[in-house]
Structure 1
Amino acid sequence: MAYIKSRKHGQSSSPAPLRTNLIGAAVLATLALPGGAQTAQSAGTLPSVTVKDTGTAEYKVETSANPKYTQPLLDTPKTIQVITKQTLEEQGAVTLTEALRNTPGITMQLGEGGNTSAGDTFQLRGFSLQQNTFVDGIRDLGAVTRDTFNLEQVEVVKGAAGAETGRGAASGYLNLISKQAHLGDDSSGTLTLGTAEKKRATVDLNRQVGDTSAIRINAMAQNSGVDGRDEVENKGTGLGLSLATGLGTPTRLYLYSQHIRQDNVPDGGIPTIGMPDYYRATATGTNAVTQAQANAMNAGRRVDTENFYGSKDDYEKVTADMVTFKVEHDLGQGTTVRNITRWGQNEMDREMTGVGAVTAPTATVNDSSTWTVARSHQKTDQVNTILANQTSLNTAFNALGLEHSLAVGVELMKEEQESYSFTAVGTTAAANLYNPNKNDTFSDFTKNVKTTGEMSTVSVYAFDNAKINEQFAINAGLRVDRYDLVTRTDAADGTKTKLDDEDTLRSWSVGGVYKPLPDGSVYVSYADSQTPPGGSNLVLSSTATNQANPNMDPQTTRTVELGTKWDLLDKRLNLATAVFRSVNDKQTTIDPITNATVQEGKTQVEGVELAAVGQITNFWQVTAGIAKTETKAIDQRSGTNGATVNETVRWSPDVTATLWTSYQISKATLGLGTRYVSEQKRVITKGTDLSTQNMPVIPSYWVSDLMAAYQVSSKLNVRLNIYNLFDEEYISTLNNNGSRMTLGAPRSATVTASYSF
């Protein structure tokens, strides 16, 4: 299984413990089910960040790979879901986006207006996950579409988590666990072929060298089209290297790295004309639209969903490298000290084309072959660099009649983001709506403003799980971050500006755990997190009313959660349930009386999550979850005297659900998955007549997948994956003005041969 001058005040967030057995489980099973739905076997004294491939094929794990969580997942008062390597392999999930289909509450985002977001862009429980992705507990920056070839598992932590991560993490974070070298020889390779000319190969080679050392090489190469899309391509290579020595001894050293290269043709989406909720209103002024034009466009037919509206020269090139060195030493009596140092750099260079408004010329309003769609040619050039060092200690001891499991640490981090804005040279021709031409004239670019953001952070943290007796425990965490953020802009005319912000953030968490039975737990927890100005992208703003102005206070999110987790069926199946409430405060809004910008806006998210993961029988496994949430905007006003009032948050469905199950029959394994996303609102302004709005929502949808695998021999396994089994047509993402969308992939398939050697 396998990141002007100001000084402000700060605030807090963290995790805690839980666990179960039989009769009480039956009582609480009706409650049992969310992101705590992964549990674990106590690692004795200290958990290690290293996850070793044991060769077992399981969906359920017992402990987090994060040493800050000192207890099994069952006894941790927080919603944590672990998506294992086996689940990813069965589903053929090759990107982080595909992996996250296994957890409820996460949706994907497209971007503002005509722009398209670069790399992984997720939203969890109503809040952006931007810059809240971590690799082995260290923040991973950059506009990158992450691959799963070098991942042991994906940990999804839900709820405010400032105590664990520092800034951000308003609704949680993702922690990606890298594959590491381990003792023993264990190697495999895969070859995948599929529709849309998909071609992908991977190799995972682990070799023991000496009594205590091992090396591991993970490699990937792919060259694939995209189902349902012309011209769009995903090409890439990946290499993961790992050297470990001292395995099985008190002192262990790990040197590992990951290197990704991507050369893609990006997808700018397609126009929404012809969709059931498409609407074009009349307009006056420069972009006038007559009633006749509006009527014609509202009756217009859909475009071919395979149409490519970009340029033949559109490209997306990604370079991502990280190198990590870790040392662990057991001091004895349940005490381990570790130090981890990492350098990482991600670079995104992209030119792509997005589509905009449709025009039906007045003279030929009824001839749709003359209709056009505006296009925006966009360029992104961004480099993110990080240098981090963490020193931590885990220990267990008795004091004041309590059994303590303590994790303390110091983190030093330097983050930098360098990006350019560009001025278009020439114009981009509008495309024929129904017959776009990739050879049309497109604008070129000249570099305009270079923006560099640098953040230096010194952090200290402590987590303690105090066991009162066999039934009661208290878990608490505290983190203090001292940061200095500097944003510099260098314009093409030589103008230079500098903005600076420094502050101290204090985040904390506390939880109480009650264990009515050894294999069950009931918990309550409180946690908070803070996002300082510019904290999400390292860019401060000189605009006094902007949320990223250094004189603004940090946004604070507080989460209260009540939950229960149970291990059933001899600890093979975990059920979990959590009820939660999160409130994000200090958002900018307009005072309706004074018309001044004040930090009194809030977002409130309330909900319940249910989850199940593990084995129902020796041959039947399942991972499932459902989340019901209600998102509310409070005092979020804009416009003169706050005349425009938001009611909720975009792209926040009320219900999300996911299921994946597999059953083994002799040498064959059958798998079935389905996921549901309820309606997602684009128009969130109070009192708006939705009948006058273009694409006010993304409609709800169900998507199902099928898998069949056969063990040809002890070394060879062949697997068929069919995606979107019933060929459901659905909108995957929609831009903020509703003019452009991406559709979910139609029915598609892959065949994968896996060989062990």
Structure 2
Amino acid sequence: MAEKTGLNSVGNMAVVAMVAAWTAVSAPAVSFAQVPNNGSATTAASQQKSFDIPAGRLPEALEAYKKATGVTVAVKVGNTAGEDFQTSAVTGVYTNEAALRAMLNGTGLSSRFTAGGTAVVSIENAESVDVSAPLPNEVAMTKFTSPLLDTAASVTVIPQFVLKDEGVSTLRDALRNVPGISLAAGESGAQGDNLTIRGFTARNDIFMDGIRDFGSYFRDSFNYEQVEALEGPAGIAFGRGATGGVINQENKVPGVTPLINVQAQFGTNLTRRVTADINEPIPDVANGAAFRLNLMVNDSGVAGRPFDAIHRLGVAPSISFGLNTATRFTLSYIHLNENDTPDYGLPWFYNKLAPGVSRYAYFGFADQNFLKTNDDIITAKVDHDFNSHVTVHSIARAANYPRNAQITEPQICTNASIPAPVGGWVPSRPTSSVTGANCPYIPGAVNPSTILVNRNQIQIKSVEGDLWDQTEVNARFKVLGLKHEFVGGVEGGQEISNPIRYGYTISGLNTVPSTTLVNPNTSQVFGGTGYISSIVHTKAESVGLYFVDTVHLGRLFELSGGVRWDRFDTGYNGYQPTAPTGGTALAASSAGTFSRVDAQPSYRAAFVYKPTSHGSVYFDYGTSFNPSAESLALTSITQNVAPEQNETYEAGAKYSFLNEHLMMEGAWFRTEKDNARETDPNNSNNIVVAGNQAVKGVQVSAVGRLPQGMDIVAGYAYLSSKVLYSPFYPTSVGYQLANVPKQTFNAFITHRLPGHFNAGVGGNYVASRTASSTTPFVPLTFGAATTFAAGSAPCGTATTTTCYQVLSTGMKQVPGYWVFNLMLKRSISEHLEVQANVNNVLNRFFIDLPHPSHLIPGEGANALMGLNYKF
């Protein structure tokens, strides 16, 4: 705790000193813009204050605006007080005029200040009025100073109305609305959300309120205000990783408007889910305080997977003080508990799903398989406005992520270690995962009823933890007549990971009973000889310093650039208690004490051209790096392995149509990774840095809240990925990277119908994906064993004497798929709404989450019926 406090103090002092130094050095040339006083109307309009007004109905929003500014607002929208108009949230420092304009953004209403200092709100154009909530126009994180329209990057903000209409309950399902993102199964030692962004793994690139959310768990959406996907160069803002981009979960915070929102869902997949969102302002305490509480209880199954069960409990209280002052403080806590019966799905058979296997087949042990997580996250945020031009933001977090898991992975034959082509030679054939002998099952000539399936046990007990502080300053000023928007910050802390792994293999064979492929024994009692295979303690301490400055070159052009420096210091200790006779020993390269320090800069530069106030064209360049201990794991080999280096170029355009009710954007990009880490094919315990990988492509997206009650979210991405160079896996050069579909498409469209109904239809398309970047194809059939003299064999090492010639190969990949969803809802009263969602309406069978060693099917057809109560 002492270290944490010291880090926080150093961070605050460093940023304040940075601002002071900048101001002092530039004093003769720097001038903060002043607004002249030309009468009471101008005075009232130009006064600057800090605002925190949530989105809501027009009357409540204007009342909150009046309390914050003292400005009286007259509403002239016909015979009503404007109850049907939904305003935007206004958070940050604005003039009174700008805050009112931002609040009315997207409503079809306009505002003006009178000579007496009051404001008048009236209909801008009666034909264009849309009473729905507007589109989000900014990223919540203070790292980004420009609205989305002028941000030089592909940024997708998934707002509340999309999550609500789709009945989304997890981060994973929310991200199906983002082009360029594909989902994958969790790794053997790390359960929870796993994904790729623009072709590169992003399991460690998930953030919460701008701070890395390091835990291995499945994230629930009950406390989300919005989800932000930032694709493209992101290393300068977020530090290590961020090759293809990052995901940020922005949580709900207390506001000045009372709110009670309760939702209940019941489904054909045994879903019983209740969430509550309660916000209570306390205006007479601490210059404006508010308390917010979000609750969630979820019990459900998975349609098409009869033994899967999901049990979640979430509690998220938060309290804010000083909402009407220049200094605002928010303390929040999230507790998320999960107790599931997990499922690693179905087995591979060489290069594809095993033949004859049922989509409902379960190969686990329902009495023994479990995934238990018990996450606690405490966050404190302080925002202080020195004046209308300089603000400081500080956020500190302590997080604890315990997990305990045992999951069964079905296996038939071992994976090929290297993709030998037809005519090539290999030192061994695949072996049976059950018997250890040569695999007796030949593709295309096998009776599925004869296939035995090994039940590999993946068991781990671990605690991950995070102590972090981030402090940054935002400053707006002029130098030589040019407007600058400056963001500078310092962040740092420590992350820990303490996994204990277990094994069930004795003398090379699994002690857990096997089963059959076609009729797996689901009632069999679990049995096996388990033992601790490794105990690991890892701690990483890191610090990052960064700044980005955006210069406005007149009305048409913006130029921004920045630098970040990171230091990542990791210490690792791994050992194994005495294993039973025949038990698998911990690899020598993983036993012992290792350390590694990486320190290097990242860069970013961007140019924006704004031909109109409704559009922009941009170019963006950035770098990032992935250290060897990125996921808090080291070996005697990787402690000497340099970071992967990433370089990204992106060019794009954005345009806002229909009075800012429709945002469309498109981008072309290219990311290249140098020194990509690979597993040594001759020693699976060795990780080497060798080879280059690249992904280039285009993506387009649209988000709209259109007139006549029509909402749309849609996106398309084309990704061309390939291995450019690989000395250890030369036959992989030119092939697709793992879990990178060439094409993805998503859409969800809703429309208002007569009788207070609203209907929606949508779907997702994901093209085929390969399972491995190093072994994209595998040998299928082999010739007889051939004996060679030692030293002359065309396979293996200098001592190899027996080789098998490859007769045929196949791409190890899962096929593409389409899934379609429907929604229907109806307002019963001002406060009550019923909603029904039908997902995978055609009951398509598809592989949703691929892994090199197992395949997890997508959920079958299911329906959810919900009640939404808002007061």
TM bucket (normalised to shorter chain) is: 0.7 to 0.9
- Cross-structure match for 2:744: 656
Bigger radius of gyration among the two: 2
From the superposition, tell whether residues 88 and 588 of structure 1 become closer, same or farther in structure 2 (CA, over 3 Å). Answer: closer
- Segments of structure 1 that go 5 or more residues without pairing to the other structure are 1-38, 280-299, 544-548
* Secondary structure in 2 matching 1:196: coil
2:643 paired residue number? 554
Which deviates further from its counterpart, 126-135 or 495-504? 495-504
Q: The residue matched to 2:164 in structure 1 has which SS?
A: helix
SS in 1 for 2:468: strand
Question: CA contact under 8 A between 1:271 and 1:355: conserved in structure 2?
Answer: yes
Deviation at 1:625, TM superposition (A): 0.7
Q: Which moved more, 1:325-334 or 1:558-567?
A: 325-334
1:432 to 509, 516, 522: 516
Separation in 1 of the partners of 2:595 and 2:705?
53
| Partner Cα distance (2:821, 2:448) in 1 | 37
Instruction: Please tell me whether residue 106 in structure 1 is matched to residue 195 in structure 2.
Output: no
Which residue of structure 2 lines up, in the alignment, with residue 541 of structure 1? Answer: 635
Is the contact made by 1:52 and 1:182 (CA closer than 8 Å) also made in structure 2?
no
Deviations 1:728-752 (A, max 9, x none): 2212123315xx4222111110001
Amino acid at match of 1:564: A
Shift, 1:435, TM fit? 3.5
Confirm or deny that 1:736 pairs with 2:838.
no
* Cα offsets for 1:426-456 (capped at 9, x unmatched): 7100013314234244325332321121111
* Residue number in structure 2 paired with 1:510: 605
Question: What is the deviation of 1:603?
Answer: 0.9
Q: 1:407 is paired with a residue of what secondary structure?
A: strand
Kept in 2: contact 1:238–1:259 (CA 8 A): yes
Deviation at 1:42, TM superposition (A): 10
1:557-591: CA deviation from partner (whole Å, max 9, x where unpaired): 11101111111111111111111011011125799
Q: Which residue of 2 aligns with 1:255?
A: 331
Structure 1 counterpart of 2:364, from 301, 306, 309: 309
Whichever residue aligns with residue 840 of structure 2, its letter is N
Tell me, yes or no, if structure 1 residue 752 matches structure 2 residue 807. no
Q: For the aligned residues, what is the CA RMSD?
A: 3.2
Q: Tell me which of 151, 158, 183 is aligned to 2:231.
A: 158
Post-superposition offset of 1:307: 3.2
Question: What SS is found at the alignment partner of 1:515?
Answer: strand
**1:709 alignment partner in structure 2:** 825
- Deviation string for 1:611-658 (max 9, x for gaps)? 11122324111111100110011112326xx56656231111111011
- In structure 2, relative to structure 1, the CA distance for the partners of 1:696 and 1:59 (3 Å cut) is farther
C-alpha spacing 1:585/1:344, structure 2 compared with 1 (3 Å): same
Contact 1:258 1:323 in 2 (8 A): yes
CA distance in 1, matches of 2:680, 2:319: 58
Match for 1:205: what amino acid?
A: I
Partner of 2:594: 499
Query: Is residue 377–residue 443 contact of structure 1 (8 Å, CA) maintained in 2?
Result: no
Distance 1:540 1:245 in 2: 43
- CA apart distance, 1:695: 6.8
Q: Which moved more, 1:562-571 or 1:427-436?
A: 427-436
Partner of 1:32: none
Q: What amino acid maps onto 2:484 in structure 1? A: H
Deviation at 1:696, TM superposition (A): 2.4
1:61 equivalent in structure 2:
136
Instruction: Give matches, 1:559-708, under 5 Å.
Output: 559-588=648-677, 599-638=689-728, 645=733, 647-665=735-753, 667-682=756-771, 685=775, 692-693=808-809, 696-708=812-824
CA distance in 1, matches of 2:865, 2:171: 20
Instruction: Tell me the secondary structure at the aligned position of residue 336 of structure 2.
Output: strand
* SS in structure 2 of the partner of residue 516 of structure 1: strand
Q: 1:696 to 1:497 in 2, by over 3 A?
A: closer
CA gap of 1:404–1:88, structure 2 versus 1, over 3 A, is same
Cα drift, residue 410 of structure 1: 1.2
Name 1:118's counterpart in structure 2: 191
Residues in 2 aligned to 1:703 and 1:520: alpha-carbon distance in whole angstroms:
33
The alignment's TM-score, normalised by the length of structure 1, stands at: 0.84
Q: CA deviation at 1:459?
A: 1.4
Aligned partner of 2:401 among 332, 343, 346: 346
Alignment partners' CA distance in 1, 2:248 and 2:333: 17
Cα distance in 2 for partners of 1:336, 1:410 equals 15
Deviation at 1:518, TM superposition (A): 1.1
Q: Does 1:81 align with 2:176?
A: no
Structure with higher RCO (Cα < 8 A, 6+ apart): 1
1:464 aligns with 2:540: no
Distance, in Å, in 2 between the alignment partners of 1:506 and 1:614 is 38
Instruction: Provide the rounded CA distance (Å) in 2 between the counterparts of 1:140 and 1:589.
Output: 26
2:836 and 2:643 mapped to 1: Cα distance?
A: 49
> Of 148, 163, 169, which residue of structure 2 is paired with 1:94?
169
Structure 1 letter corresponding to 2:546: Y
Question: What secondary structure, in the 3-state scheme, does the structure 1 residue paired with 2:859 have?
Answer: coil
Cα displacement (A) at 1:372: 2.6
Equivalent residue runs for 1:176-575 within 5 Å: 176-211=249-284, 212-271=288-347, 277-278=352-353, 301-303=356-358, 305-357=360-412, 371-424=451-504, 427-433=511-517, 434-493=519-578, 497-535=592-630, 537-543=631-637, 549-575=638-664
Residues 393-443 of structure 1 deviation map (CA, whole Å, 9 limit, x = unaligned): 111000122101111111121111111122327710001331423424432
- Offset at residue 106 of structure 1 (A): 1.3
Structure 2 unaligned regions, length at least 5 = 1-87, 108-130, 414-431, 580-587, 782-807
Q: Which one is further off, 306-315 or 699-708?
A: 306-315
Q: 1:127 Cα shift? A: 0.5
Give the letter for the 2:746 counterpart: T
Q: What number of residue pairs does the alignment pair up?
A: 680
| Pairs within 5 Å for 1:37-56 | none
Is 1:723–2:862 an aligned residue pair?
no
CA distance in 1, matches of 2:599, 2:609: 34
Q: In 2, are the aligned partners of 1:278 and 1:695 still within 8 Å (CA)? A: no
2-structure distance, mates of 1:201, 1:84? 20
- How far did residue 331 of structure 1 move? 0.8
Aligned to 2:429: none
Give, in whole Å, the separation in 2 of the partners of 1:472 and 1:86.
33
Per the alignment, do residues 590 and 716 of structure 1 end up closer, same or farther by CA in structure 2, a change over 3 Å counting? closer
Is the deviation greater in 76-85 or in 416-425?
416-425
One-letter identity of the residue aligned with 1:677: V
Could you state the TM-score of these two structures normalised by the residue count of structure 2? 0.73
* Aligned residues of 1:42 and 1:62 also touching (Cα < 8 A): no
Which AA in structure 2 matches 1:572? H
- Aligned mates of 2:449, 2:531 — CA distance in 1: 34
**Aligned 8 A contact 2:547 2:563 in 1:** yes
**Paired position in structure 1 for 2:801:** none
Deviations 1:199-229 (CA, angstroms, capped at 9, x unpaired): 1111111111124111000000011111111
Cα offsets for 1:320-368 (capped at 9, x unmatched):
11001111111113211122111011111011111110779999x9986
**8 Å contact kept, 2:347–2:353:** no
Aligned to 2:547, the other structure's residue is in SS state strand
Q: Check conservation: 1:392, 1:408, Cα contact below 8 A.
A: yes
Give the Å deviation of 1:161. Answer: 1.2
8 Å contact from structure 1 (residues 308, 438) kept in 2: no
- Residue 733 of structure 1 aligns to a residue whose secondary structure is strand
Distance in 2 separating the partners of 1:58 and 1:270: 43
Q: What fraction of aligned residue pairs are identical, expressed as a percent?
A: 28
For the 8 Å contact 1:160–1:557, the answer to whether it is kept is no
Residue 332 of structure 1: SS of its match in structure 2? coil
User: In the alignment, what sits opposite 2:75?
Assistant: none
Pair 1:597–1:383, CA change in 2 (3 A): closer
| Partner deviation per Cα, 1:489-511 (whole Å, 9 max, x = no partner) | 23325997221112322111110
